[in-house]
Amino acid sequence: MPKTIIVSNRLPTKVLRTDAGLTFQPSEGGLATGLGSIYRHEGNAWVGWPGLFLEDAAEEQYITEALRADSMAPVFLTESEIQDYYEGFSNSTLWPTFHYFPQFATYEAAHWAAYVAVNEKFCAAVLAQAGPEDTIWVHDYQLLLLPAMLRAARPDCTIGFFLHIPFPSYELIRVLPWRAELLHGMLGADLIGFHTFGYMRHFLSAVAHLLGFPAQNGLIETPTRTVLVDAFPMGIDYERYAEAAASAAAQAHEAVYRQALGAGRVVLSIDRLDYTKGIAQRLLAFEQLLVRYPEWVGQVSLIMVVVPSRDQVPQYAALKQEIDELVGRLNARYRTIDWSPIHYFYRSFPFDELASLYRLAEVALVTPLRDGMNLVAKEFVASKADGRGVLILSERAGAARELSDALVINPTDLDALVEALHQALVMPAEEQAQRLDAMRALVRRYNVFSWTKLFMNQLTYSKIKQHMLATDMLSPAATDELVAAYRAAPQRLLLLDYDGTLAPFHPNPQRAEPDQELRLLLRALTEDPRNRVVVISGRDRATLARWLGDLPLDFIAEHGVWLRPAGEEWQLFQTLKNDWMRELRPVLDLYVARTAGSFVETKDYSLVWHFRRADAELGAVRARELLAHLNFMTSNTDLQVLEGNKVLEIKNAGINKGAAASRWLAQFPADFVLAIGDDRTDEDTFRALPPAAYTIRVGSGARSLARFHLAGVADVRALLRRLL
């Protein structure tokens, strides 16, 4: 039975050292609840740090065994690992960068080294639990490298990754010295999930810009695999919050609070101490409310819970001081004997007291500057069974994508915040109910359990999709079989594409000339009298002749327009026209004018628009536009538009590599046929060949008619060397 392993920085149980010995404190976090039914299931496990530093080996054994009984496998970290990997790289490099605070980010090589090392440590811990067929779900920014590490060790595992914080614009990611490694790390997964479509879009854009991997419909094609990317807005355990708020305990707590507060109105704010949460801005807005609407003085209080967090880090300590001062100033200025504007708590509350605060508050002020999702907003909504209450929500929290019935504000717009507060306090009951009802239905439906289920289902689907799309990699066994068939054949035909197959791409196509290794390899192949070696390319015949014409090779140029058997002259495949170029050339020139870095190549019977050197995203957009434009202009003509690797090519219909390959095979019958190519134009060759031919597509997990895949040029050359 395949297992499921959950991995996150922290385990859902915290181990504490107390006077009474070690104690185990289960977490009440949303993730622990949502995944509870998975990791506790027979044979499954949750891998993570238990939150304390070991004193001796006996302790390690005791904790490991105690946690194992509850389906958990601890990864023990040292103090210096926590300092450099967690407080260092995770919280001082990734956290500020991903939340759009690059000015707070540090770039320490030692922190990076620790991050790599701890991700490896997690990898080893997971491998100790996971078999080759298992499903592994990795969580959050502390473990961005883990998916690729796991993939390397267990190529067939199903691996999911979910990021709980925002994924920022490419403009921020590109600042990180280790950006490419981080993206490669994530791409080890089969499915990568984000809270919002916006984060997903940023990720696709970063992958396109920094790694050059194309994506379509959320599927990224890496050289070896297809990776699915999708948005999964995380929810909460709705019933738990609804029930807790309605419970007798919560009502009792509320009564106590009420008595202390009198008839005053209550605005609530709850966060972990963090500069991303906009806590200071919120206090300033509350102060302005009292200035602009003095009728609220003595009437409204802000209950502000700030849960201590990371306060050893200088920015957090400074923030704490700023909040302390602001609260002090406000209270000193406005407080009366029986009323305080701010009730400030720098500590965390037990769950049932939290529930009573949600119950008590009429307005929730959730105004982060950046927040991946923000569960407090959803918890407040779930707690309001009576339909009274107003949520003020920052447009920069992931939750705002769903909770559009909140008063959605820009948290840096102080004016908007003040007005929203006032509007919330005077909002008619009917409108409150209307907004809350809509939001409650949504939070109830898209809860943490449906989130988990959806992610797991998509993960299974991503694997099926991969199998559907993927052609098998050319395995060592298949290679042996291919080599044996080659050796046994008295006549062999090798059809080899050039760019991306025999030679790597160069930003300037004219610079992709063959190197010495390739020339020697091709020469050696042609020296065997049983071989016909055909270079079958989209390139113009002059370039092919200049680069390789001195070798006894056969050539098919311009995708089959020109043919030249070794030792003969160039001949046309059939009579062709090129008078259409006059009309279409200006269209291509227009796209060159609009797309820096692109250019037009003119061949004898075709026109090519190249966009390899253009901005990756702009190039792809313009290519789609141009394709539509050309399809319109060439309908009812004898022309076709081919999509190649970062090129669009217009040529006469009926001419393609497949037609040329067929003619070759008819003219030079062979017992062994091998065709290798890397782009869509090579699919015509694969299609034209008999089923027994060995057809190989180079690169991505793209859908292909070929029987096998190879990752890149180096593998192609290695295979050809094996034939010698």
Residues that bind ligand GDG (CB under 6 A): 28, 30, 164-165, 234, 270, 272, 305, 307, 348-349, 351, 354, 371-376, 379
Give the residue among 465, 473, 477 at the shortest CA–CA distance from 155.
473
Spatial contact of 611 and 646, defined as CB atoms under 8 Å apart: yes
Question: Which residue number, 447 or 656, has a Cβ lying nearer to ligand GDG?
Answer: 447
- The beta strands (E) that lie in 1-115 are given as 4-10, 13-18, 21-26, 45-49, 72-74
Give the HSE-up count for residue 594: Cα atoms under 13 Å, Cβ half-sphere. Answer: 15
CA 123 from centroid of its chain's CA atoms: 20
Q: Specify the amino acid at residue 621.
A: V
Torsion angle defined by CA atoms of residues 204, 210, 214 and 218, in that order, rounded to the nearest 10 degrees: -10
Minimal distance, residue 160 CB to ligand GDG, in Å: 15
Q: How far is the CB of 374 from ligand GDG (least distance, A)?
A: 5
Tell me which of 497, 678, 679, 715 is the catalytic residue: 497
> Mapping DSSP to helix (H, G, I), strand (E, B) and coil, where does residue 12 land?
coil
Q: Kindly report the number of other CB atoms within 10 A of residue 411's CB atom.
A: 25
DSSP 3-state assignment of 343?
A: strand
Q: Kindly tell me which of 277 and 697 has the beta carbon lying closer to ligand GDG.
A: 277
Q: For residue 448, which amino acid is it?
A: V
CB 482 within 8 A of CB 521: no
Cβ-based nearer residue to ligand GDG, 228 or 375: 375
| 160 or 658: CB nearest ligand GDG | 160
Tell me 403's DSSP state: -
DSSP state of 107: -
Decide whether 241 or 580 has the Cβ nearer to ligand GDG.
Answer: 241
The DSSP result for 485-531, as a single string, is HHHH-SSEEEEE--BTTTB---SSGGG----HHHHHHHHHHHHSTTE
HSE on the CB side for 120, CA within 13 Å? 7
Active site residue 386: no
Can you tell me the distance from the alpha carbon of 14 to that of 22, in angstroms, rounded to the nearest whole number? 10
678 to each of 49, 207, 538, 587, how far by Cα in Å? 44, 20, 12, 28
Does residue 73 contact residue 47 with C-beta atoms inside 8 Å? Answer: yes
Residue 403 Cβ vs ligand GDG, minimum distance, rounded to whole Å: 12
Minimum CB distance to ligand GDG, residue 125 (Å): 22
- Which of 372, 411 has the CB closer to ligand GDG? 372
CA 497 to chain centroid, in Å, comes to 32
Alpha carbon separation from 4 to 126, 148, 226, 297 (Å, rounded): 11, 18, 21, 55
Nearer to ligand GDG by Cβ, of 32 and 176: the residue is 32
What's the min distance (Å) between Cβ of 280 and ligand GDG?
17
Q: How far is the CB of 21 from ligand GDG (least distance, A)?
A: 24
* Secondary structure (3-state) at 304: strand
| 369 or 556: CB nearest ligand GDG | 369
Type of residue at 92: S
Alpha-carbon distance 389 to 183, whole Å? Answer: 42
The answer to whether the beta carbons of residues 151 and 159 sit under 8 Å apart is yes
Nearer to ligand GDG, 297 or 307 (CB): 307
Q: Which of 15, 74, 72 is nearest to 40 (CA)?
A: 72
Shortest reach from residue 381's CB to ligand GDG, in Å = 12
Query: CB of 271: closest distance to ligand GDG in angstroms?
Result: 7
d(Cα 550, Cα 547) in Å, to the nearest integer?
A: 8
**Minimum CB distance to ligand GDG, residue 397 (Å):** 7
Active-site residue set: 497
